[in-house]
Amino acid sequence: MMSTKTSIHNNCLALLWIVVLIFSLFGVTPLKVGASTDVPVYTDALAPGWTDWSWDTERSFNHHTTVRGTASISVTVTTGWGGLSLRTSSVITTSDFNAVTFWVRGDSSGPSLQFYVQATDYGAASNTLEFTAPANAWKQITATMAALGNPATLARLNFQDTSGADGYTVYIDDIRIVANPILTTTADVHIQAGGTITPIAARLLGSNIAAWNGQSTYENERFRARTASSGLSVLRMPGGSYSNNYGWLSCEMRHNQPGALPCGDQWESWVARPTDFINFLRAVNIEGMWVASITGTVQEAEAAVAFFNSAITDTTTIGTDIHATNWYTAGHWARLRADHGNPLPIGIKLWGIGNEVYGSKPATGGAVCQSWGWEDMWTCDGTEYVTGKGSGANRHAGFNEFRTAMQSIDPSIQVGAIGVPVQSSWTGWGNKVIAAAGQKMDFYDIHQYAYDNPPATAAMALEDPETTWAEIKADIAAASAANAGGRNIPIGVSEFNIFSSWNYDTGAWMTQATAGLFVADSIGQMMNNSYALANQWLLSGNTQSNGTDYGLINAENVTMTRSPQYFAYPLWARFGNSMLPLTSTLNAATQLSLYAGRAKDLVYSVMAINKTGVLITASIDFTGAPSFASAVADVVQATALSDTTVMFNGVSENALADDLSNAPSQVVTITPGTTHVTTAFAPYSMTLLRITPQIAARTFLPLVRKT
């Protein structure tokens, strides 16, 4: 009688060939199936030649309760760091194999583990692949040979606890060494090296850092080191909604100041101060962006500009506000900055006025506001936000007044007006703001979160960037044409991510490789569409009750774990400063998203985001480029979209140095003298390919003095 697994396997092969036939009929590049044979290690029983070399665990290789087929391996950890180890009597050469795959399931605790191999019985461990055993659900893990550090041989396969805990059980099934290749598809890519160049704004690689992280996080050396190495170009503060009520002076003094917005009595002892922000920016060498509260007065905002940007000798008068509070001169606040350890200005050039003002509550913003509003603001009308509301001591100044006053302190600052991605939404907020401030605003400041309710699968979520960013730009351009004389208003995205609110992220996609690919593709689309700035939300978040977290870095633990989102930034930071046109035979939304560019040093770049679980081999031709001399690649790879950690240039997250220095770029084999590159992009990966032309290599050779 045919087993369940055999039946499923044969059915899948039949289905695969049907898919190949359908693809060929419709002109889609078919999948290629490798002719080599997989090596089974465990399929309902240990394969011949494999033996148990485990430690500090109790094992059953004939477990029949928690199974995928008829049996599985149950492993109970009896001592922390215990492991299941399987040893082959015939060492396997890896040249014909692509990966090791297996299925894993946890008990209710969902334990953390790692997988690694040894080339000999007692040889050194390979690179490790970290993974979790999901509670009460089977998950397939794929450890590619590249992720394992390309070991030459395999003698032992090891599955080890990393939590140090004991007493829990995991189940492992269907362990295979997969023949090379697995499933692959091909892409023909043509890049116009001499085509139209689209400049890239340097401020597109931003994030947010919130005041509630506190001084201790800002001063943590590992947090600083990992931020400095991230490739981020801008950091926005003091928060999201918190920005609307953050009293910068009260928080700076750690005590609520007369006439200033309150810092909040319960937060005075730990909330981050503007000085902490300055110190952090200097330590990580990243540009800052500040959000002034529109619930305060223009004089308080002027004083904030002076605190960050003015010289001690600046005698510019700020004066008294509508509440009879004297805000003195610009130099007065520069002196406060100096007294707190920063004699020189930090020079913050990017400023927002308020956060999501359109989301005000009806109780504070008026009847026009939505019942589900969340901001404690005085309006949710776009025109009032720009022009102000009330009179005398009840006056609320609008964007135009704030911008004029703040630029009187530092004319070089750029001040953004709060906008929305869809101009007709929120009772026409965007159309009203553009009509009232379209000729004055320095940039249009929007927040874009792709989903309230998630799509059916994480893979479907990855389709969003390819259309959304172009649609937003077109909508803003249409509103500008109708309401602001067609001015090409720079677009700033001071917050973006997959979900608008963490509680919608029921699958915790923002902690997984899904978010890494989503953020990387979003950045590429904003580059293609000439956005002016973009800040991912959030640099350091906090784990929510459903397990999700917006953060690039988890500052809640001492290891400061970097999420998959983090690694989009060091790749894009190395990309270059201009985009080049390209065409590809693969679907960018569902298969392979590609971006081509060039740096000032004449190096060409290709950013490839493989959204699929198959290896993609790309044949890349450059038209109009000088012949090539060499190439390197930086690769961020996951085994599945659900992975919470990734490999960077073959090094696992837990083994990566804070500055990424132990994961150098990988050399790519090319034929010198050509303008063609053939390379493979791993499943669920981001790859930055950098190619040096022979002319660039000659240009930058070191000079040698004749003797």
Q: Is the peptide bond before 199 cis (omega within 30 degrees of 0)?
A: no
Q: Is the dihedral of CA 19, 25, 26, 29 positive or negative?
A: positive
The answer to whether the beta carbons of residues 666 and 649 sit under 8 Å apart is yes
DSSP category for residue 664: P
Residue 195 in tokens: 């085509």
Question: What residue has token string 């009203």?
Answer: 432
Residue type at position 145: M
Parallel, antiparallel or unpaired: strands 651-652 and 578-580 = unpaired
- Cβ contacts of residue 589 below 8 Å, gap of 6+? 462, 463, 466, 467
Parallel, antiparallel or unpaired: strands 491-499 and 533-536 = parallel
Q: Is the peptide bond before 181 cis (omega within 30 degrees of 0)?
A: yes
The secondary structure of the chain in percent helix, strand, coil, rounded to multiples of 5, reads 30, 30, 45
Q: What are the C-alpha distances in Å from 636 to residues 66, 227, 645, 665?
A: 33, 18, 10, 11
Neighbours of 254 (CB within 10 A): 14
> What Rg, from alpha-carbon coordinates, does the chain have?
28
Domain 36-181: CATH superfamily, name plus number:
Galactose-binding lectin (2.60.120.430)
DSSP category for residue 256: P
DSSP, collapsed to helix, strand or coil, labels residue 129 as: strand
Nearest to 182 by CA among 612, 589, 607: 612
The answer to whether the beta carbons of residues 239 and 274 sit under 8 Å apart is no
- The string of DSSP letters for 60-78 reads EEEE-SS-SSS-EEEEEES
pTM of the model: 0.78
Torsion of the alpha carbons at 392, 397, 402 and 408, rounded to the nearest 10: -10
Q: What is the pLDDT of residue 699?
A: 55
The answer to whether the beta carbons of residues 275 and 337 sit under 8 Å apart is yes
Question: What residue has token string 């699929």?
Answer: 612
Nearest to 433 by CA among 447, 422, 444: 444
The CA distance from 562 to 656, in Å, is 10
Q: What is the pLDDT of residue 181?
A: 56
DSSP category for residue 272: P
Measured at the alpha carbon of residue 463, what is the angle toward residues 461 and 468, in degrees to the nearest 5?
100
End-to-end CA distance of the chain: 84
- CATH architecture assigned to 186-198+577-699: Sandwich (2.60)
DSSP category for residue 114: E
Q: What is the pLDDT of residue 265?
A: 77
Q: Could you tell me the maximum CA-CA distance found in the chain, to the nearest angstrom?
A: 92
Length of the chain: 707
Residue type at position 451: Y
pLDDT < 70 regions, the chain? 1-36, 180-183, 696-707
Q: pLDDT tens digits for 169-210? A: 999 999 999 886 555 789 999 999 989 999 999 999 999 999
For 393-421, give one letter per residue: b (16+ CB within 10 A) or e: eebbbbbbbbbebbbebbeebbbbbbbbb
The CA distance from 376 to 310, in Å, is 31
Q: What is the pLDDT of residue 360?
A: 96
For 180-193, give one letter per residue: b (16+ CB within 10 A) or e: bbbbbbbbebebbb
- Cβ contacts of residue 231 below 8 Å, gap of 6+? 205, 569, 570, 571, 572, 573, 574
Domain 201-573: CATH superfamily, name plus number:
Glycosidases (3.20.20.80)
